[in-house]
Chains A and B, each alone.
Chain A
Amino acid sequence: MSDSSDDEYFCTDWLPYSERKDWEDIKPLEQDDGPNPVVSIAYSQKFRDVFDYTRAIIAKGEKSRRALDLTTDALRLNPANYTVWQYRRDILREIEADLNVELDYLGEVIGQNAKNYQVWHHRRVIVEMLNDPSNELELTKNALDNDGDAKNYHAWQHRQWAIKTFNLYDDELRYVDRLICEDQRNNSAWNQRFFVLKHLGFTPEVIQRELVYTMNRIRIIKNNESAWNFLVGVLRQSGGDDQYQLNSHPEVVEFSEELYNAGNRSPYLLAFLIDVYQEQALHQKANNEQLARKVFTLCDDMATKHDVIRRKYWQYVASHLKSQLDKEKQQQQQYQETEKGH
């Protein structure tokens, strides 16, 4: 919950609407909060003045230049008022305003309210009306680069929407690569990478290339969940048996075992190995005790040394595997007995 401050914008040359000559024809409309309101906001004089006139204009249905300017003031005071944004759009349509001017205005507003849902929605609608996405990559790039928040969810959402709607995939992989280089722990950038690749298609070549890319990243920073998640995500695109995908590329398993043998104990590495051996144990069906033991040992190491905060989870993983293997063994025995019976 952030607080709004209107002083900066309104302090100089501010004339209340109630004192403006060109607004004399409008009778302001007070808000009806009922006889005994709760959670009442002690609105400032300015807020009251602007919204009393905004209500009057909306009730009157006036869609004019001055009404547009009034919504600018109202939205400066409360950028979360989605009804006023909608009314603003209705005005823009009616007076056939230059929507490029609106885009410029929005660039400014988004700069100040980069985490506000309504401003991004308004942007999306205006871009749709213009059918021109040429500023959107730049806008979101600025929000991600310059505003110091490369993980701004709204900016990424808007960027994905623009790319998807207007087919702007071409340079995206390069942009994402730059962001990952700058901060390998930027999970949003990894997600965007996956989004682009999914569009281009996870061909065997793409999978191969991405596995190498990700392993190279992990070599630099081993304890990075984003990269490990991406690695698993790509492996799961390799098709085939859903229960054996982590083992679909032996070089990834070798890479992980090398890291382990070299002494790395990142929980993400160990979690990956647990999943890999678990797959193998369940895949192999017979003579899988040794593999199961590997899983149990790793789970135990996690619970007691490397990932203590999740000790209950790793105990659960071990017991879950045990019960799965027991169930399989039982089924096998039953099968053998019925075979004998025949």
Chain B
Amino acid sequence: MSHHIDMEDAIEPEPVLLSKHAKNLLRFLHLLPARMASHDNTRSTIVFFAVCGLDVLNSLHLIPPKLREDIINWTYGGLVAPRENEKRCGGFMGCRAMVPKTDDSEILECIRKYQWGHLAMTYTSVAVLATLGDDFSRLDRKSIVDGVAAVQKPEGSFSASINGSEDDMRFVYCAATICHMLDYWGDVNKETMFQFIMQSLRYDYGFSQEFEGEAHGGTTFCALAALQLSGQLHRLDDNTKERIKRWLVFRQMDGFQGRPNKPVDTCYSFWIGAALCILDGFELTDYPKNREYILSTQDKLVGGFAKWPQATPDPFHTYLGLCGLSFTGEPGLSAVQPSLNMSMAAYAHLQHLHELWRNNSDLAHLKLGSKGSTANATQTTTTSSSPLISAQ
């Protein structure tokens, strides 16, 4: 107590308001205001930011058992399981906009044509299930990976869904996360995927969204993570790796920017940070400056992080801000697996499941969908009132 107050201010770094962030994320799991209606299609990603954020905050215990069950059931409610004769559109939907409340079987049948799994929603849904310790017993891994393979383009890239979607590096990343998490690549073509990624490496050694677009921090993360998750990172030669590292390291201003000559933004502390982790180069960055920037976007009143100081916090920047801090070893936060963007604990759970699947061939067979189980699952799995789910 002998310190002069001013001195103390100068030395004491700003604290990360752990419990406020936890409360903030927890709130999003319940009710969202009407002004967030334009996020209707990506509700699964909000669950992902909240659940995985609580995990990184070591606060999963704040999710009561009932809510945990609700999250798991609601997530499974978005599962699309096509029948034999239908398009391979397996995977998760991120919302229920195409799920009508009706007993009319004709209506339910007709609207199936517009129910498609979406790679980003499948990625976040599977990640949420892994984080909550689900055993994936309600998943037909083959059906999902068939859906992934079905949206791969001849040039190696991926669309988000069987219809109505652009294709780019974001969905290459999602495809890689899904196959890695399910420990099954099926008909996914890793070679053309690799070619697409490498054709999107730019002259400044960042990766673009597709081919000759501008190099970008988010897509560079997606490219490197997809290479790592598909076991192809070693195909980059040392010079290329060093040049990519240079591009990434140069993104640090105090926090990180996504492209040269663009303003910094909290989320790039994750995208660039994780990309550098993948290349074993994160320790080359300036931790205190990074931390200082992220904390300048912390909302001290309601918790959460924003992209810029004084901007409104949101779950996306809150989660990615926490992950960015975790890379610097921030006390109170758990370690994050960079390429899957989930906690190491959740990743360990996945690895445990992989081991079970690999050792138990009967189970492995079942998980990869015998015809019987697929047909069974297709009846009703698009709504959360499915008997398959209530049977759990």
CB of B41 within 8 A of CB of A78, answer yes
Q: Which residues of chain B are near A40, meaning CB under 8 Å?
A: 30-32
Complex Cα gap A84–B41 (Å): 11
Q: Which residues of chain B are near A316, meaning CB under 8 Å?
A: 284
Q: Which residues of chain A are near B69, meaning CB under 8 Å?
A: 36
The listed residue (B73, B114, B250) touching A86 by CB distance below 8 A is B114
Q: Mark A19-43, 1 if CB is under 8 A from B, else 0.
A: 0000000000111111111111111
Interface centre among A36, A85, A192, A320 (most CB of B within 10 A): A36
Residues 330-380 (chain B) with a chain A CB within 8 angstroms: none
CB of B38 within 8 A of CB of A38, answer no
Q: Which residues of chain A are near B165, meaning CB under 8 Å?
A: 82, 121
CB of B38 within 8 A of CB of A80, answer yes
Complex Cα gap A29–B77 (Å): 18
Identify which of A132-140, A225-233, A333-341 touches chain B: A225-233
CB of A187 within 8 A of CB of B262, answer yes
The residue on A at minimum CB distance from B307 is: A1
Complex Cα gap A185–B262 (Å): 9
CB of B35 within 8 A of CB of A187, answer no
The residue on A at minimum CB distance from B98 is: A83
Known: A194-B203, A313-B249. A79 touches B111 (CB 8 A): no
CB of A58 within 8 A of CB of B39, answer no
B272 on interface, CB distance cutoff 8 Å: no
The residue on B at minimum CB distance from A125 is: B164
Known: A55-B111, A236-B203. A156 touches B37 (CB 8 A): no
Q: Which residues of chain A are near B32, meaning CB under 8 Å?
A: 39-42
Complex Cα gap A121–B41 (Å): 16
The residue on B at minimum CB distance from A197 is: B203
B42 on interface, CB distance cutoff 8 Å: yes
The residue on B at minimum CB distance from A316 is: B284
A287 on interface, CB distance cutoff 8 Å: no
Complex Cα gap A40–B47 (Å): 10
Known: A3-B36, A44-B34, A233-B203. A59 touches B100 (CB 8 A): yes
B387 on interface, CB distance cutoff 8 Å: no
Known: A34-B74, A309-B254. A225 touches B260 (CB 8 A): yes
Complex Cα gap A320–B281 (Å): 13
Q: Mark B16-36, 1 if CB is under 8 A from A, else 0.
A: 000000000000111111111
Known: A151-B262, A153-B213, A157-B213. A51 touches B97 (CB 8 A): yes
Q: Which residues of chain A are near B284, meaning CB under 8 Å?
A: 310, 312-313, 316
Minimum CB–CB distance from B298 to chain A (whole Å) comes to 17
The listed residue (A42, A59, A191, A232) touching B215 by CB distance below 8 A is A191
CB of A39 within 8 A of CB of B29, answer yes
Complex Cα gap A164–B259 (Å): 23
CB of A77 within 8 A of CB of B164, answer no
Complex Cα gap A113–B204 (Å): 30
- Range of interface residues on B (Cβ < 8 Å): 35 or more
Interface centre among A59, A120, A234 (most CB of B within 10 A): A59
The listed residue (B114, B202, B242) touching A58 by CB distance below 8 A is B114
CB of B96 within 8 A of CB of A34, answer yes
Complex Cα gap A186–B323 (Å): 30
B101 on interface, CB distance cutoff 8 Å: yes
CB of A34 within 8 A of CB of B383, answer yes
Minimum CB–CB distance from A78 to chain B (whole Å) comes to 5
A306 on interface, CB distance cutoff 8 Å: no
Known: A81-B97, A160-B212, A232-B204. A39 touches B38 (CB 8 A): no
B87 on interface, CB distance cutoff 8 Å: no
Q: Which residues of chain B are near A56, meaning CB under 8 Å?
A: 100
CB of A38 within 8 A of CB of B36, answer no
The listed residue (A1, A121, A234) touching B166 by CB distance below 8 A is A121
Minimum CB–CB distance from A322 to chain B (whole Å) comes to 14
CB of B96 within 8 A of CB of A33, answer yes
Complex Cα gap A86–B165 (Å): 8
Complex Cα gap A117–B203 (Å): 25
Complex Cα gap A265–B10 (Å): 31
Q: Mark B85-99, 1 if CB is under 8 A from A, else 0.
A: 000000000001111
CB of A3 within 8 A of CB of B38, answer yes
Minimum CB–CB distance from A304 to chain B (whole Å) comes to 14
Complex Cα gap A158–B250 (Å): 27
The listed residue (A39, A160, A226, A312) touching B286 by CB distance below 8 A is A312
B137 on interface, CB distance cutoff 8 Å: no
CB of B37 within 8 A of CB of A44, answer yes
Known: A34-B73, A59-B100, A316-B284. A29 touches B107 (CB 8 A): yes
B285 on interface, CB distance cutoff 8 Å: yes
Known: A82-B41, A85-B164, A310-B286. A31 touches B260 (CB 8 A): no
Complex Cα gap A313–B272 (Å): 15
A60 on interface, CB distance cutoff 8 Å: yes
Complex Cα gap A297–B233 (Å): 33
The listed residue (B34, B47, B107) touching A43 by CB distance below 8 A is B34
CB of A151 within 8 A of CB of B259, answer yes
Minimum CB–CB distance from B160 to chain A (whole Å) comes to 7
Would you mind naming 24 contact pairs between A and B with Cβ atoms under 8 Å apart? A29-B107, A31-B97, A32-B101, A34-B385, A35-B384, A35-B385, A37-B96, A38-B70, A39-B30, A39-B43, A39-B46, A40-B31, A42-B31, A59-B110, A80-B38, A82-B41, A83-B41, A153-B216, A156-B214, A192-B214, A224-B261, A226-B261, A233-B203, A316-B284
Residues of B within 8 A of A (CB): 28-43, 46-47, 50, 67, 69-71, 73-74, 77, 96-102, 107, 110-111, 114, 116, 118, 160-161, 163-166, 202-204, 208-216, 239, 242, 246, 249-250, 252-254, 259-262, 283-286, 289, 314-316, 383-385
Known: A43-B34, A84-B97, A191-B208. 7 other contacts (CB 8 A): A31-B96, A31-B100, A38-B67, A39-B29, A41-B39, A187-B214, A311-B286
